[in-house]
Structure 1
Amino acid sequence: MCGIAGILTCDRPLDDRQAVLDTMLDRIAHRGPDGKGRLHIQTQALFGHRRLAIIDIEHGQQPMCSPDQRYTLVFNGEIYNYLELRQSLIQRGTHFETFSDTEVLLQLLIKEGSNALSQLNGMFAFVFHDREKNTWIAARDPFGIKPFYYSSTEREWVFASEIKAILAHPGINAQRSDEGLQQYLTFQFCLEEKTLFKGIYKLKPGFFLYGVGNKVREEKCYWDTNYHIDQYHTEEYFVDRLRSLLEDSIRLQLRSDVALGSYLSCGIDSSIVSTLAAQHLGENVPMFHGRFAEGIEYDESSYAKLVAKEVNGQYHEVVPTADEFVSDLPRLIYALDEPLAGPGLFPQYRVSKLAAEHVKVVLGGQGGDEIFGGYARYLVGYLEQALKGAIFETNEEGKHLVTLESIIPQLPMLKQYHPLLSQFLSRGLFEDMDARYFHMIDRSQGLQGYLTPELLSSFDRDELFATFQGVFNHPDTLSYINKMTHFDQKTLLPALLQVEDRVSMAVSLESRVQLLDTRIVDLVTSMPPPLKFQGGRPKHILKKATHALLSSRIMKRKDKMGFPVPLGEWMKMGPVRDYFGDILLSQSSKERGIYTREALEGMLSNQGVGGRISWGAISLELWHREFGV
């Protein structure tokens, strides 16, 4: 796990850019405090690396070159199946000088080029360079677990693990993207390759770029979700196969030469990961949980302690405070590079900080909701689908995935989702699938009274919806559940993984996500939808495959909170209210051109800072300040 940065060019001396590369590396020093490496290839490239040593600690320094110096690799991440790949390469005559996964990746790329990507099981972002031809490949893992950003000037192509490093280049300025802003206000993240910075892009998950010098010649997808439904196997087969793949994913991702622990939010996903990890590692696996002291509605520690006790884990707990929230928030927005997600990133950071005091690698359950259908909005979508089928006697999917009768037992889990249900009942009822889901996730609804008329008039709703449709309407996704989960896997999940990466790497901690294995996702997307989302049961197939692992109290709970933050309570008095008032009502905030003065003044007195709109407003204002946009 590391940070990478570099500048690629064609027949241009780069001596004057060496100080720039040093600054780029300094800005991502938190990603790799264990080592710093640089390589200058005259008139072609400057490569830089910050190392967090996890595998083969004494070796594996980067940038790494082939013995003949022709090929160079700068790599961030882990290749979990590197031992198997190493053995295969040895059988083909390859000699190794280290036991690092970096050298395995380098040798595999030398032999197979971009064809190597389909063989990798891991999380990664890298650049592989051939100095004889001045060609290169830049690639990112299938889910976007590891970040990769890039930009360009007239004669240089610049890349880094974080945007803040790219902004160290004198030819690249921090400017806000109007298209990115519209996407952020609509979805709470930017789609596809877009970012909130004009002219700075992210490499899409599952894609690679092929380039020559400072020019990108080709962008290609090497892995995508497969929705060719397997109608031949039984539920028993899928359950057994899923359990086997979960076990193997855990086995591979436990490979490390340093201490490991696990996040334990006490939801099903993290509980499964923690339990399986404990079965492999034995007793006293460190497990990390966070809670708030403001009330039982912000405290799930009883469930976390139950899981830790059942597997003889070593339970650790942190209780974040309002004062810490105020002190952490600006640096968290800076760490993210772009405002993303909600205030839950604050306790997530505090749990990561706790974990970093005990271990260097932490395991988590990120991705379970998007893969196995765990979000409440999927149930809302199928409530509508069931109502439509019952009223109009229609069936959009060719076979009833859920009936009104079958979905009723699941409805109590929606009692915490009043706004979502109100929106569902008032807008878009019985429209096409894409329009209905867009209405459900469109966060710009309700902003009309808050955004300036100038910004509202610039919104291209047709273009936003068309961009959404391009992702949502995957040609092989015939069922609603596959369309919804596909969109979230391609958009929401990378955004959540960006938060996961930044809050862990901010404290030099490697975070691994065991459910995000392409073999698991390929299996789940090939399952018949009625089996995967049977009767509207969230995570039906995952629960069936792991029911023997967890107590019924964990497996059957319907009150998972999702790490809520007590902003409402903190806003009644004290440092949080004062801080939000200072930021939202500042002159720069009022003159930003995003929210009206009246809206900013009303957010504190009327809506309350705990609301989504207020959170978005302060996140954007802090982002502008931290990056000088």
Structure 2
Amino acid sequence: MCGIAGSLATFGNSDEITHSLKKMMSAIRHRGPDGDGIWLDERRPVGLGHVRLAIIDPEHGKQPMVTEDGRFIVVFNGAIYNYLELRRELIGKGHPIHSYSDTEVLLYAYREWGERFVDRLLGMFAFAIWDKHEQRLFCARDRIGIKPFYYHFDGRRLLFASEIKAITADGGVKAQANPDGLQDYLTFQFCLNEKTLFQGVDKLEPGHCLSAWYEGETLKVQTRQYWDLHYNIDEEHDERYFVDTLSGLIDDSIRLHMRSDVPLGAHLSGGLDSSAIVCLASRMLGGEKMNTFTGAFNEGPQFDETGYAKDVAAFAGTQYNEIYIPASNELADMLPRLMYYMDEPLAGPGVIPQYYVSQLAAKHVKVVMGGQGGDELFIGYARYMALYLEKCLSGAIYQTANQNRYAVSLESIVPNLPLLATYQPMLQGLWKNGLFASYDQRYFSLLDRSEGMAQLFNQGALHSGSGYSSFESFQRIFNRGEMHSLVNRMTYFDLKGSLPALLHVEDRTSMAASIESRVPLLDHRIVEFMATIPPNIKFAEGRMKHLFKESVRSAVPQSIFDRKDKMGFPTPLTQWTKGVARDFVRDTLLSDRARQRGLYDVTAVEKILGNEREFGRVVWGLLCLELWHRIFIDGDMKPSGI
């Protein structure tokens, strides 16, 4: 894993470009502590920079990397898992590949196949390739959005980097809050599409590429989508076929994800997804013991899954490592540090335990595998069941249950409804208004986190005057054509919306510890295969993760299948904010700085403090947003410890 940076402009000399790149690279040094490099074009004000975490062929994989004839130059962040197969094919075509670096393979694959070579890549990636002869830049981000890519273009200059802080570190881009991004953040706690919380800084969306070229003295930039998920339903096969095929794809993905020239381990929560990866990977290692890493809290059994994790570690024969995350008396130091690494406040407080577990893993390995993506791919969130329950009630009441080819009946899901027993607040929120409204409105209501938050902001703070609507952006994704069923619409939105935010957290917490995180379940072959399965098979009778469970049943201990208490690494944030971190939270949100910012109704904020329900997100969302403003918008120095 690495960090990339680059600059293309219509002005400037080599000294200025070098100075700019050095500042950008310094801001992301944690992503690549093993080396760095800069390449400059002698004809144009173009430069590429790279900081390296050496994983594959540490000796020969230095970047920026240049083809033997000097024409193509690349900076690359990620891992190409099928690089050995591509290497053999490219050598057979006469390309002078001398190393076993996936970077060199990527570079010559572009030379051989042009821009469509991305279709051949199996892995996670964000890269930029400069064609010195054509004076043209080609960049791409992986299909799912595992690796980040940000850019700023003002008509005269294109800056790009692995993290936003590298772009603002250049000094030419002033950090300003993006009102449309703020609206998304208050709605979802992440930004949709290309938006970020920074005005003038966009993210290259998953499955997209970017090209830049000169026309005379004018710099042109264009983005386009090269991949999307298509729901071409396979009506020819039965459930057994889908289970067997999925099992084979998962095995092959894990096998490829284990390619590494440095020590490799795995996160282990005790849930099904990470347990399956640990058990299958351990089986492939034979007698060799793999390190696994588990985190928990001392605040109660509802915050501790170590019992299940230990069962899996014993079953799989791994070297078990655990950390009990300290109570938040150090939240005042740790949370600003996390916000700095994150660039943007995203998702929930699970970022805290992920950060600590990554720090633990870094003491033992340089690569970790995790179970990210299993809930989105295999239908594992309780909200899916909640909306299907409402759909089935509507079908039963209005006798419309059989109008859809892939309909799920109320009778069929009854045996699986106990899953919702611990989700009463979610059901109460869903059903207090809008019952039986359109499915886009109903699913949006399950995702919308603005209730309890919006009224804490001053009038006008949530609107830019652009007419932007987070709901309309949501609708454009959710209501895409040819989806065939409600479950496909929900999981497609999550693949495009919430999953990239979770992967953002995965990337930043691992990079903060200078380790590489890999997510085998998000192999695009698995993602594409799941889209072909008839909805009435993959969500049979409302059984969560049904096909995934069947595909890994022989590899995972029965105790994991018998679990009824899906946890998802909950964090005792409410206990902290009402206890040992109370003063820090109040001092931050009720400070003179917060009052002078003009965003918040501080009187309303004061009322909410101390009254939030367990696992609520309002105080968390406000706290992270205020710290983000202080670090990036106000221009505070780096938090302590960085």
For the superposition of Structure 1 and Structure 2, which TM-score range results when normalised by the shorter chain?
over 0.9
For 1:278 and 1:236, how far apart are their aligned partners in 2?
25
Contact 1:401–1:535 at 8 Å: present in 2 too?
A: no
Letter in 2 for 1:24: M
Aligned to 1:444: 450
Change (3 A) 1:192 1:215: farther
For 2:50 and 2:300, how far apart are their aligned partners in 1?
44
For 2:434 and 2:89, how far apart are their aligned partners in 1?
54
Q: Could you tell me how far 1:552 is from its partner in structure 2?
A: 2.1
Aligned to 1:239: 243
Aligned to 1:606: 611
583, 589, 594: which one aligns with 1:584: 589
Aligned to 1:530: 536
Is 1:192 the counterpart of 2:198 in the alignment?
A: no
Q: Could you tell me how far 1:419 is from its partner in structure 2?
A: 2.0
Change (3 A) 1:100 1:134: same
Aligned to 2:282: 278
> Is the partner of 2:111 in helix, strand or coil?
helix
How do 1:29-48 residues align onto structure 2 when only pairs under 5 Å count? 29-42=29-42, 43-48=44-49
Aligned to 2:344: 338
For 1:405 and 1:445, how far apart are their aligned partners in 2?
33
Q: Could you tell me how far 1:56 is from its partner in structure 2?
A: 0.5
Change (3 A) 1:627 1:112: same
For 2:479 and 2:186, how far apart are their aligned partners in 1?
22
Identity among equivalent pairs (%): 50
Aligned to 1:104: 105
List per-residue Cα deviations over 1:551-576 (Å, max 9, x = no partner). 222013121111111123223432x1
Report the more deviating stretch, 148-157 or 26-35: 148-157
Is 1:300 the counterpart of 2:301 in the alignment?
A: no
Q: Could you tell me how far 1:333 is from its partner in structure 2?
A: 0.7
Is 1:26 the counterpart of 2:26 in the alignment?
A: yes
260, 265, 269: which one aligns with 1:265: 269
TM-score scaled by length of structure 1: 0.97
Q: Could you tell me how far 1:523 is from its partner in structure 2?
A: 0.8
Aligned to 1:51: 52
> Is the partner of 2:302 in helix, strand or coil?
helix
Aligned to 1:76: 77
Contact 1:193–1:203 at 8 Å: present in 2 too?
A: yes
Contact 2:183–2:462 at 8 Å: present in 1 too?
A: no
Q: Could you tell me how far 1:222 is from its partner in structure 2?
A: 1.5
Contact 1:452–1:595 at 8 Å: present in 2 too?
A: yes
How do 1:247-262 residues align onto structure 2 when only pairs under 5 Å count? 247-262=251-266
For 2:465 and 2:355, how far apart are their aligned partners in 1?
33
Report the more deviating stretch, 394-403 or 206-215: 394-403
TM-score scaled by length of structure 2: 0.95
Change (3 A) 1:65 1:345: same
Change (3 A) 1:469 1:610: closer
Is 1:564 the counterpart of 2:570 in the alignment?
A: yes
Aligned to 2:4: 4
Letter in 1 for 2:550: K
Contact 2:401–2:407 at 8 Å: present in 1 too?
A: no
Contact 2:37–2:63 at 8 Å: present in 1 too?
A: yes
Q: Could you tell me how far 1:125 is from its partner in structure 2?
A: 0.2
List per-residue Cα deviations over 1:436-484 (Å, max 9, x = no partner). 1111111112334322223256688872222111111121212000000
Is 1:619 the counterpart of 2:624 in the alignment?
A: yes
For 1:547 and 1:488, how far apart are their aligned partners in 2?
26
What's the Cα RMSD here?
Answer: 1.7
Q: Could you tell me how far 1:401 is from its partner in structure 2?
A: 3.2
Aligned to 2:640: none
Report the more deviating stretch, 576-585 or 478-487: 576-585
For 2:462 and 2:143, how far apart are their aligned partners in 1?
35
> Is the partner of 2:368 in helix, strand or coil?
strand
Contact 2:263–2:366 at 8 Å: present in 1 too?
A: yes
Contact 1:427–1:439 at 8 Å: present in 2 too?
A: no
Is 1:368 the counterpart of 2:369 in the alignment?
A: no
Aligned to 2:515: 509
Letter in 1 for 2:597: R
Stretches of structure 2 that go unaligned for 5 or more consecutive residues are 635-642
For 2:3 and 2:129, how far apart are their aligned partners in 1?
15
Q: Could you tell me how far 1:549 is from its partner in structure 2?
A: 1.3
Contact 2:143–2:208 at 8 Å: present in 1 too?
A: yes
Aligned to 2:498: 492
How do 1:386-405 residues align onto structure 2 when only pairs under 5 Å count? 386-395=392-401, 398-405=404-411
> Is the partner of 2:521 in helix, strand or coil?
coil
Is 1:162 the counterpart of 2:163 in the alignment?
A: yes
Report the more deviating stretch, 395-404 or 298-307: 395-404
For 2:485 and 2:587, how far apart are their aligned partners in 1?
48
Change (3 A) 1:216 1:496: farther
Report the more deviating stretch, 209-218 or 178-187: 209-218
For 2:375 and 2:69, how far apart are their aligned partners in 1?
46
Report the more deviating stretch, 258-267 or 9-18: 9-18
Is 1:359 the counterpart of 2:360 in the alignment?
A: no
> Is the partner of 1:497 in helix, strand or coil?
helix
For 2:278 and 2:465, how far apart are their aligned partners in 1?
44
For 1:11 and 1:455, how far apart are their aligned partners in 2?
37
Report the more deviating stretch, 458-467 or 473-482: 458-467
For 2:468 and 2:199, how far apart are their aligned partners in 1?
21
How do 1:469-488 residues align onto structure 2 when only pairs under 5 Å count? 469-488=475-494
Aligned to 1:62: 63
For 2:465 and 2:452, how far apart are their aligned partners in 1?
14
Q: Could you tell me how far 1:351 is from its partner in structure 2?
A: 0.3
For 1:198 and 1:216, how far apart are their aligned partners in 2?
20
> Is the partner of 2:369 in helix, strand or coil?
strand
For 1:280 and 1:290, how far apart are their aligned partners in 2?
25
Letter in 2 for 1:365: G
Change (3 A) 1:309 1:137: same
Change (3 A) 1:310 1:85: same
Letter in 1 for 2:546: H
Q: Could you tell me how far 1:400 is from its partner in structure 2?
A: 4.8
Change (3 A) 1:235 1:460: farther
Report the more deviating stretch, 357-366 or 433-442: 433-442
Letter in 2 for 1:34: D
Q: Could you tell me how far 1:399 is from its partner in structure 2?
A: 2.5
For 2:162 and 2:455, how far apart are their aligned partners in 1?
37
For 1:75 and 1:256, how far apart are their aligned partners in 2?
17
For 2:534 and 2:466, how far apart are their aligned partners in 1?
37
List per-residue Cα deviations over 1:373-409 (Å, max 9, x = no partner). 1111000010011101100011486125321112122
Contact 1:261–1:359 at 8 Å: present in 2 too?
A: yes
Is 1:209 the counterpart of 2:210 in the alignment?
A: yes
Change (3 A) 1:623 1:397: farther
Contact 1:44–1:131 at 8 Å: present in 2 too?
A: no
List per-residue Cα deviations over 1:83-130 (Å, max 9, x = no partner). 000011111111212110000000000111111000000000000111
Change (3 A) 1:247 1:620: same
> Is the partner of 2:321 in helix, strand or coil?
strand
Aligned to 1:148: 149
